[in-house]
A and B are shown apart, each in its own frame.
Chain A
């Protein structure tokens, strides 16, 4: 009790007492999730200067959501980003990627100007952002489905069930 009262002002008490894994895992995840997401975003935006890019940034953002799922359960991650939103984000990312390809092809080579700031480097940072959107949303959907499944023997046959089925 005293341990929690020390940190009471820093974070809400409710998230630490939800069902999930241990208290230590949840506390560590609470401190680390902002850093991971910021790192993934940083990798995407600086992809033209630092050895990273759209693919790396997208996968790191998906790792953040997996950390949330492992510590709290998939319903907590779904509160932050629902399945329908993720499905649309995946499509929007791919669509934006093709739009930027179209712009780049029609304004070649002046679409790729040289510079190091975000808006001076031309079209490459926008392509990185759209690829990160696509890859991150896709991997989030795959993990959210894999986290909910189990195979159960029901009436002699095996059925693929979900952990969070609605109780009628």
Chain B
């Protein structure tokens, strides 16, 4: 059930990328999609009644640390991605004076 909910979050982010005209809304769609993908990858490593993977081995099952290792660096690299997209948006605004992609097409 939770897996399909996170898939729904990914689909909402995809909606923001495809169906929006404003450049800032497209950037927000990419960010939402990144959040959904991180959540889904982390959910693959979760067990019922799981504890954090710190090495004091208790009786409870431990959550899988390999998906967490995958997601950890993706979060930090997502920050670089956001800064690159925002730099492109600033350049687009400087060139065309608006954030609307249809007006950019008309002006060209």
Contact = CB atoms under 8 A, between A and B. Distances in A.
Q: Do A and B touch (CB < 8 Å)? A: yes
Interface of A: 51, 53, 55, 59, 135, 138-139, 142, 146, 149, 151, 158-160
A135 B54 CA distance: 25
A142 B73 CA distance: 19
B90 A59 contact: no
13 contacts: A53-B72, A55-B72, A55-B73, A55-B75, A59-B76, A59-B79, A135-B76, A138-B80, A158-B93, A158-B94, A158-B97, A160-B90, A160-B91
Given A135-B76, A151-B93, 6 more contacts: A53-B72, A55-B72, A59-B76, A158-B93, A160-B90, A160-B91
Interface of B: 52, 54, 72-73, 75-76, 79-80, 83, 86, 90-91, 93-95, 97
B7 to A, nearest CB: 27
Given A142-B83, A160-B90, A55 B76 contact: yes
Contacts of A53: 72
A139 B79 contact: yes
Contact of A151 (B52, B83, B90): B90
Contact of A51 (B52, B79, B95): B52
Nearest to B73: A55
A51 B54 contact: yes
Contacts of B83: 142, 146
B79 A151 contact: no
Interface-central residue, A59, A142, A146, by most chain B CB under 10 Å = A142
